[in-house]
Amino acid sequence: MTTVLLVRHGLTAVTGKILLGWTPGVSLDERGRRQASDLAGRLGNIPLAAIVSSPLERCRETAGTIAGRRPEGPQAPGGVQPVAVDERFGECRYGDWTGQELAVLAKDPLWAVVQSHPSAVVFPGPEGEALRDTQARGVTAVREWNDRLGPDATWLLCSHGDVIRTIVADALGMHLDMYHRITVDPCSLTVIRYGERRPFVRRINDIGGDVAELLPPPPKPAGEAGEGGGEGGGDGAAGSPAVDGAAPGPALGPDEVVGGGAGSYPPPAGGGAV
């Protein structure tokens, strides 16, 4: 079986606030760099036939950190394993929604469709992409890399929340309309093994640490703005607090958002960074 390690990029300064999409020049912040370094340490003893990344900076930086900690590879000892870039693993193209605040987008009528019937969504504007096409290009690329590397290979893919969730949904045999049920936090590890007859999902959203991360967060004081989603939209009821000064709108629960949420970071006391 070919084993694929799917890693979402680490945190940026605006993860959970802005729908980044293909916005250029967005790098990991200090938290994201620590996350990537910690994950690189966890994966240090896993032999990788390839490390493949989305072309966007936040993914290339995460993948580069992992590559730089590899003990093996075609280079001399201590060398850096190369990172291959595949545009098909780039973020969904959100069109006119790119760069906008999630709290503002949550008021758009299309938001409800994204939540309830994502397979029907085509994001607005000439650059907008259908989520079903995001899934198709991602799944096709994974299968092609599997064929290229062979049935005994283990390789790592660094991509984005929506791309990873659609790939996982395909592996689970889930309809795209249910992909919101899958959580992919920043710098989390998801593992799929592809056999001749079917894929096997071995891990989803592994962020390490202890089980304290599974506890619900404590309630926030009345009037305090809630934490938003990820690099995409979210679902919820009307009347949520504002995000970054935006007018109140639908709630942006971290388990309901397009693109995945900002995750739990720093981790709870006693937990690990990833």
What distance in Å separates the CA atoms of residue 153 and residue 252, rounded to the nearest whole number?
A: 39
Helix (H) or strand (E) holding 147: helix 131-149
Q: At what angle do helices 30-42 and 57-68 cross, to 10 degrees?
A: 40
Each of the 274 residues of the chain gets a pLDDT tens digit; together they read: 999 999 999 999 999 899 999 999 999 999 999 999 999 999 988 999 999 999 999 999 999 999 998 865 444 344 567 999 999 999 999 999 999 999 999 999 999 999 999 999 999 999 999 999 999 999 999 999 999 999 999 999 999 999 999 999 999 999 999 999 999 999 999 999 999 999 999 999 999 877 776 677 788 787 654 433 344 433 333 222 222 233 333 444 544 566 566 776 665 444 433 3
* φ/ψ of residue 92, rounded to 5: -55, 140
Peptide bond preceding 266 in cis form (omega within 30 of 0):
yes
Q: Dihedral sign, CA of 19, 24, 27, 32?
A: positive
pLDDT at residue 157, rounded to an integer: 98
Three-state SS for 71? Answer: coil
What distance in Å separates the CA atoms of residue 41 and residue 66, rounded to the nearest whole number?
A: 8
The domains located in the chain, with CATH, are 2-214 (3.40.50.1240)
Q: Does the pTM of the predicted model rise above 0.85? A: no
What distance in Å separates the CA atoms of residue 136 and residue 258, rounded to the nearest whole number?
A: 17
Structure tokens at 20: 């980044």
pLDDT at residue 106, rounded to an integer: 93
Return the closest-CA partner of residue 166 out of 133, 123, 208, 203.
Answer: 133
pLDDT at residue 251, rounded to an integer: 47
Q: What are the residues facing 197 on neighbouring strands?
A: none
Q: Dump the DSSP string for 79-135.
A: PPPPEEE-GGGSPP-BGGGTT-BHHHHTTSHHHHHHHH-GGG-B-SSTTB-BHHHHH
Residues for the chain: how many in total? 274
